[in-house]
Structure 1
């Protein structure tokens, strides 16, 4: 029914929720269908209004659906706050309902996800959200933390993009080359990929980004050669790196100038200290 008549399915989901019939799955499935029908904002309100009728075990899944809905609606602040909340739950030992792993599904296959993998995934999503706010300094810190925990090619490419935006081209190039050469591989993701195209996506992306970097280098060298030979008395043209750094200086939030450590990690560290004392 969901595939043939989504709107009718939504009506049935509403009836099940109001009747208290398997509310956990009804609310989650209804929100997913609403998202597909471009009713994401309505889905957000539905989850917020009725999640208290769902079991404790269903809350984590509802949070994951909410994150996707926030992303679709461009509600970046809400997305970031919820991702931080999920990180706090991990450090408090409340994620996965207190279990060390959870069962997930990808390409129709079930597999186990560890706390370490989930932490890296959430950090990756948080980094992407910061990038949407053009807060590349915060995104860089988060992506590097994610790569330390459970590295993979996609996050490595995103980290490289942050570094490019910050003018750190040599480091970005080095990371992209590692992806291209196969030195950064997520074994879990690789083993679950359903096709060769899935395995090669990060490498293809890294190759394209390296190509773009090379084009920038060539254009900057040509621009510098032309300006230095045709107008020696003119002021030197800022380099590509200098222009990016100048641009990013304007985007840097004051809170990140004094410390490169994100507030979420400060909160987590304080929380862990409290838990240790207790």
Structure 2
């Protein structure tokens, strides 16, 4: 439902729009972006984004941008309700992006249960081959730059967010299971530190030390990041009094609500299996998630 302006723009105005990263034209959405980016008046911009949504002008972008500005203005609860109320006016292509904004809003508001459920929903979509419209990659944007994201990277990112949400609930067994799966498909230093913390919280110090030392030895992507290295060093210092601790046995059979994590096993296998066709293995026809969980 994205609207567009057919007005011709003079070269001078066009250069102005490029400099300020504004869309061309003189529509409600363009005026909202001008107030947001040039006049830097977020409250006025929110009002104009509302007008753009009601006018049907670039509803996909207007709703997302308004929610982001609301979050910046500590109006995250309002932003959540706005997305829930108006996302049915947006295109199918915009839904994934709106989900990402909604996850950030749930996180800011401390609404962990809703955050976890939405993250699980996104994992189910990947499992069922519904993410990225069946393609192996998608184009994402960050700070004005476009880049390609693979299904593997997206799955690991979502698992990382899910693990963090479980940690906020102090459900360290669930968080550990999630981080281990994330590390299977796209290991990095940040998630290794979180996994180490989960193990420390379960008094499994020797296992934690092994995970954290991988960061300091440069074995993982992002190991050269000073933040990750400093965090790994801090966590290792925390467990120094327990250096002689023996490796604790890994819990057998985590009793997570609805046994959701068991349903990710096949997803992990699909992501780590070599290509056998022109499509990613994850997008091959597979049994519904609930059938796998019932096994």
CA separation in 1, counterparts of 2:134 and 2:36? 33
Residue 150 of structure 1 is aligned with which of 172, 186, 194? Answer: 186
Q: Aligned pair count?
A: 233
CA separation in 2, counterparts of 1:156 and 1:55? 37
Aligned to 1:34: 70
SS at match of 1:162: helix
CA separation in 2, counterparts of 1:208 and 1:169? 14
Aligned to 1:250: none
Aligned to 1:209: 235
CA separation in 2, counterparts of 1:45 and 1:93? 29
Cα shift readout 1:243-273 (whole Å, capped 9, x = no counterpart): xx9xxxxxxxxxxx87227522344559943
- How is 1:138-217 mapped onto 2 (pairs within 5 angstroms)? 138-185=174-221, 199-214=225-240, 216-217=241-242
Query: Structure 2: which 5+ residue stretches go unaligned?
Result: 1-34, 268-284
CA separation in 2, counterparts of 1:49 and 1:258? 43
Cα shift readout 1:148-190 (whole Å, capped 9, x = no counterpart): 010000000000000000011001011111101101115xxx8
Cα shift readout 1:5-64 (whole Å, capped 9, x = no counterpart): 100000000000011100000000000000000000000000000000000000000000
Aligned to 2:36: 2
Q: 1:22 to 1:107 in 2, by over 3 A?
A: closer
CA separation in 2, counterparts of 1:174 and 1:137? 18
What CA RMSD, in Å, does the superposition of the two structures yield over aligned residues? 2.8
CA separation in 2, counterparts of 1:81 and 1:274? 18
Residue 260 of structure 1 is aligned with which of 254, 262, 275? Answer: 254
SS at match of 1:102: strand
CA separation in 1, counterparts of 2:185 and 2:92? 28
Runs of at least 4 residues of structure 1 off by over 6 A?
A: none
Q: Which has the higher helix share?
A: 1
CA separation in 2, counterparts of 1:200 and 1:120? 22
Residue 113 of structure 2 is aligned with which of 77, 98, 102? Answer: 77
Displacement of 1:97 in angstroms is 2.3
